[in-house]
Amino acid sequence: MASVTSALNKFQDNADAVQALHAPVLSREPIEQAARRAAQHLIRLQLPGGDWEGEMVWCTMILAQTVIVRVIVNRPYRDDEKAGIIKHFECSQRGDGSWGMHPESQGYVFFTTIGYVALRLLGLPAESPLLERARRWLHAQPGGVKEIPSWGKFWLALLDLYEWEGINPIPPEIFLLPQWLPVHPRRYYCHTRQIYLGLAFLYGKRFCAVLPEPLRDALRRELYPEPYASIDFASWRNRIAQSDVHVPISPVLRLVYQLLGIFERRHGRGLRRKALDRCFQRILYEQRSTNYQGISPVSGLLNCLAIFAHDPKHPDLEPSLAGLEAWRWEDQAEGIRYVGARSNSWDTAFAIQALIELPGSDAETVQALNQAHGFLRDAQMTEELPDYQAAWRDSALGGWCFSDGSHRWPVSDCAAEALSAILALYEQADFEASGRLDESRLEMAVNFILSRQNEDGGFGTYERRRGGKLLELINPSEMYGQCMTELSYIECTSSSLAALAHYRKHHPDFPDERIDRALRTAEAFLRKSQGQDGAYPGFWGINYTYALFHVVKGLRTAGAAVTDPALRAAARWLTEKQRADGGWGEHYSGCLEGRYVEHEQSQVVMTSWALLALLETLSPDHQAIQRGISWLVNQQQADGAWPRQSVNGVFFGAAMLDYRLYHLYFPTWALARYTRLAEVTAQRDAA
């Protein structure tokens, strides 16, 4: 560490010398004008409820599965809805005829196959150009549809388009295992746990939809070049298309599959009935406790099928199908689709923090902030879930969800950013919102955040960590990594650190010194997680730039000085990665490869993250900041927005996302912060 500190001191000395030689690229006036245009554009996008929400773009998987579910349960779409769905498939199809994991990925057998099936179920003829291109691409793959990943094999089996002997067992009896076992499902990451709950129930029932034979037989002919009856599906059970594999089947998982296969041949009917009943009761709890939305549409769709398989007339089926529509997104440009998450609270918290950074708020901004405060106030979880511990849930009280809170799955960093935004609002002299959160509500938020801290000092998302790293050896998803258990995440830890430090500043007498202990251990976790080059790997954004934005924000709010070695190392890394045009840009492939990969073009979002971090550690007239701000201003459009560029989010290592408001409130925030700091610097120099 001593050698790193020495190098950092030398870097700072050189940086100080360099910045004195360079005049600002742009004067303060055009930068402030750009910041105010951006703020005005952001305010125009505020929704009637006071929140902001941008689409979180992922892929066509949920759309395809929703179509399949609606057909199975005999709730078909209207003709105009079918047209909107087909339009989205047309917009998102790759040039080679395939569909991918995300807007910039290569084609996947999984997404292309289930998209093809969904379009046929909607009534699109096999001869349509859309399907001809997809079919041609599928047949050109080495193993074709037979090598679809396990989730795809399962969905095809539900439609009698793949045989059950070609699928590795998912017995519902795993939910009857003793809870002390290290492989018990309660230890899984909550999304994974809920998905496999539905899969296990449907597998245990061997549920299979009844398609009209002409359509079923036509699909079999279209999907497989050889006769369906001639395929030895069992021999394809563990063969996965290389285009789709992110985590290969491990030897340990292969052994587990073999043991489960033996069990599946010998289990008793009574035990199976008990297991199915246990799974079904948990499915009903999830649906009812989430207002029938589920933690996500991925598991929500499986739950709908499970309820239908149990009883097509079950009273929870209709509200569950209606709950799926909470995930629907629709516009003229791209048609109808379903998002993997709704981001109301997340987007609103960041929009607030961006807007309050700009000095001299006008009446329009104050009104927008008042309305946003009202949304966050109402979105907080103020009632506990009934019997949550029996459902393997952690307490929800005091938290905020990623969304508007309807599905009642709050998250640590969503709660932290919401609390940070609210506390920052209360520090504004001109902010006079009605219905301020009282001390008990603020304390509830703090207790919620504290409840998500792991033993290593880091913070999980929905829950504390429950399982060990060895669980990843039995990751059955094949397409996603690090999805078997909660982790300690750099970004969640940083957001939680910032919120807790912000709260402690105004409440130094919080009982039992719990905040102080949490801050010490969180800060220690972040410091030991820093790489030798000064960078941090991201998990929920792309990638090192995103993580550094959060870490610097967290450490600075917690009181770290600008001369702190960790912050100076972060600043060095960022200035070294600045591109020749003044911007920053990371390519998503770095998430797949576990290293920094520069994008071929500077990105508005990454540039904003870098600037927000550097403005915490360097003077606003530093050369790197001046060049970055100038680049950002020059990319701004006439209406105050910025152009959409590459994907900027990620989850589970391989699934890239495009958060469509990131390209607006983060650059607004960066320009606003620069404007405020430049004004302070000018006033200080004048004095």
Q: Is 311 annotated as catalytic?
A: no
Q: Which two tokens stand for residue 48?
A: 């009637």
Q: Which two tokens stand for residue 424?
A: 């920052």
> What is the DSSP secondary-structure string of 47-109?
-TTS-----EE--SHHHHHHHHHHHHTT-PPPHHHHHHHHHHHHHH--TTS--BSSTTSPB-H
Q: Which two tokens stand for residue 576?
A: 């070294």
SS3 104: coil
Which residue in the list 394, 413, 621, 658 is annotated as catalytic? Answer: 413
Report which of 376, 379, 409, 377 is spatially closest to residue 395, judged by C-alpha positions. 409
- Yes or no: say if 398 and 415 are a contact pair by the CB < 8 Å rule: yes
Measured CA distances, 247 to 50, 171, 229, 478 (Å): 41, 22, 31, 5
Tokens 């990969």 sit on residue: 597
> What is the DSSP secondary-structure string of 316-343?
THHHHHHHHGGGEEEETTTEEEE-S---
Measured CA distances, 106 to 95, 224, 337 (Å): 10, 22, 20
Alpha-carbon distance of 292 to 284, in angstroms, equals 9
Tokens 């391989």 sit on residue: 654
Report which of 245, 306, 263 is spatially closest to residue 281, judged by C-alpha positions. 306
Alpha-carbon distance of 160 to 176, in angstroms, equals 28
Report which of 165, 146, 123 is spatially closest to residue 223, judged by C-alpha positions. 146
Alpha-carbon distance of 318 to 305, in angstroms, equals 11
Q: Which residues pair with 400 in a beta bridge?
A: 411
Q: Which two tokens stand for residue 610?
A: 């870098």
Alpha-carbon distance of 120 to 127, in angstroms, equals 10
Active-site positions?
413
